[in-house]
């Protein structure tokens, strides 16, 4: 195994173009190194991009919010701009492992690792995130919903580098929420995670709503059918019950040592109601 | 591969293997055995060191990724004769029993107190949420900071 530390983004793209599938991109290492040390992956080359400062940073420009791929969870959890405009992303980042993981683990890594339980995926999906990719051949942007194609599978080509994400910030009477269920308050892989972005009109009707979930299917996903149920309602108990039922139908959770499928499905409905109530309070505030 | 980095305030230069972790480099090549190997998956924090002032799990950190950066281990804080204030507080408050987790806790608490000299109990508990102690039940460790270390740095 060879360890390569490209000195620039262009050099990294050259290396990936040359090595293709034989290279594994490494940033904070909190997922890749666990898999490498366990022997779950055996790359010919580890391409370390953690030193490429150009891929690290947060920039807001009107309705466009850009987050560099190497931005660590700790910064997402504490940056005033993210806390204000993407509060659910901040909340999710604050639940990824402990300080040690958040100090080096990155948003690009969380997305590329494509875990069914990826905390950041749910709030990023509700914020219509686009994944920005670059290779020696071309640049392109892919909707996060299309980027996550399966458990630990993404649409990234072997010669491509995820350079960052473009996200729609909260605006107007909007409330963003991320809620995660685990057995304890920290260091948990989500048993169920749910994010919502709720926009209310001046008469407190649901003008727009986005709902995304993780840990209840092979990939985190947008629950579009449940969203449809809620549009135009005033979040009456009946509307939420119906949305929860539709959401439960869309889920296909696994039973494993963390929780069984029935539990995850039941929790999902309760989590939706709680998240919507919190989001409505925040939207009206 | 040759690795050069700042270690406890001095320049260290050492040959390492490509996929080697910083924990192995520190313990096996540089004889710094303060950082401990616990879970090797980022759950227990026993291997915590500071990288440019931030706590990281050295068991998951590729050694080559610290090239030209600054690493502090528990050996860089104090000595047996002159303990660092956080080390002294842990001893005084009974925050040390078997000692295996202690260096990791101390590194995180030092990072916390440098960022925030007067943390609340909640902030202390959140800061050490990536560290596991199976002896103390955490109360004495939190007390060490609240009663002794706050304001001492």
Beta strands B70-72 and B2-7 are parallel
Residue B71 CA: distances (Å) to CA of A139, B12, B18, B55, B127: 36, 10, 19, 10, 19
Structure tokens given for A191? 């048993």
Considering only CB atoms, which chain B residues are within 8 Å of A98?
Answer: 45, 128-131
Quick check: A101 and B108 CB within 8 A?
Answer: no
- Distance, in Å, from the CA atom of A165 to the CA atom of A130, rounded to the nearest integer, reads 6
Q: Do A99 and B61 touch (CB under 8 A)?
A: no
B131 shares contact with chain A (CB less than 8 Å) = yes
pLDDT digit string, tens, across residues A160-194: 999 999 999 999 999 999 999 988 878 888 899 99
B9 part of contact set with chain A, CB < 8 Å:
no
The answer to whether the Cβ–Cβ distance between B67 and A186 falls below 8 Å is no
- Count how many pairs of residues, chain A against chain B, have C-beta atoms within 8 Å: 83
Q: Select the residue of B41, B45, B61 nearest A98 (Cβ to Cβ).
A: B45
Residue of A nearest to B45 (CA): A100
pTM equals 0.96
- Best mutation target among A77, A98, A110, A187 (most B Cβ atoms within 10 Å) is A98
List, in order, residues 6 or more apart from A203 with CB less than 8 Å away.
Answer: none
Tell me: the pLDDT tens digits for A12-71? 999 999 999 999 999 999 999 999 999 999 999 999 999 999 999 999 987 789 999 999
Rounded CA gap, A37 and A51, in Å? 22
Model ipTM over 0.90: yes
Structure tokens at A142: 């892919």
Q: pLDDT-derived band of residue B137, with 50, 70 and 90 as boundaries?
A: confident
**Across all residues in chain A, what is the average pLDDT?**
96
Burial A113-149 (b: 16+ CB within 10 A, else e): bbbbbbbbbbbbbbbebbbbbbbeeeeeebebbebbe
Q: What angle do CA B53, B59, B62 make, to 5 degrees?
A: 80
């Amino acid at each position: 195994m060879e360890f390569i530390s490209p000195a620039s983004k262009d050099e990294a793209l050259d290396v990936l173009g040359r090595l293709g599938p034989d290279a594994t991109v490494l940033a904070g290492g909190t997922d890749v190194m666990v898999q490498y040390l366990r022997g779950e992956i055996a790359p010919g080359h580890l391409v370390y991009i953690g030193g490429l400062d150009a891929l690290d940073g947060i920039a807001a420009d009107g309705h466009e919010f850009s987050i560099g791929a190497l931005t660590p969870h700790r910064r997402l959890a504490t940056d005033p701009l993210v806390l204000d405009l993407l509060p659910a992303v901040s909340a999710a980042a604050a639940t990824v492992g402990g300080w040690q993981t958040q100090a080096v683990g990155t948003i690009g890594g969380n997305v590329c690792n494509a875990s069914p339980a990826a905390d950041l995926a749910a709030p990023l999906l509700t914020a219509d995130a686009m994944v920005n990719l670059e290779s020696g051949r071309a640049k392109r942007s892919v909707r996060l919903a299309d980027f996550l194609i399966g458990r630990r599978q993404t649409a990234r080509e072997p010669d491509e580098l995820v350079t960052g994400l473009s996200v729609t910030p909260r605006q107007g009477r909007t409330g963003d929420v991320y809620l995660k269920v685990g057995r304890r308050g920290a260091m948990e892989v989500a048993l169920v995670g749910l994010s919502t972005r709720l926009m209310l009109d001046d008469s407190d009707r649901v003008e727009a709503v986005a709902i995304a979930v993780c840990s209840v299917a092979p990939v985190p996903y947008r629950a579009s059918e449940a969203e449809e149920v809620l549009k135009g309602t005033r979040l009456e108990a009946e509307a939420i019950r119906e949305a929860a039922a539709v959401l439960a139908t869309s889920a296909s959770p696994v039973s494993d040592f963390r929780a069984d499928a029935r539990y995850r499905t039941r929790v999902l409905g309760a989590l939706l109601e709680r998240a919507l109530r919190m989001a409505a309070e925040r939207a009206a505030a | 591969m040759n690795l050069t980095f700042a270690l406890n305030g001095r320049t260290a230069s050492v040959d390492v293997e490509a996929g080697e972790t910083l924990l192995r480099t520190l313990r096996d090549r540089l004889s710094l055995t303060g950082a401990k190997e616990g879970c090797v998956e980022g759950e227990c924090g026993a291997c915590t060191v500071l990288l440019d002032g931030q706590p990281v799990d050295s068991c998951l950190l590729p050694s080559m990724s610290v090239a030209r950066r600054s690493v502090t281990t528990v050996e860089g804080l104090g000595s047996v004769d002159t303990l660092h204030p956080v080390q002294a507080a842990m001893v005084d408050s009974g925050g040390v029993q078997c000692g295996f987790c202690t260096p990791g806790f101390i590194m995180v608490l030092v990072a916390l107190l440098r960022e925030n000299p007067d943390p609340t109990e909640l902030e202390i508990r959140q800061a050490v949420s990536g560290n596991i102690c199976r002896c103390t039940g955490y109360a004495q460790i939190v007390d060490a900071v609240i009663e002794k270390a706050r304001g001492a740095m």
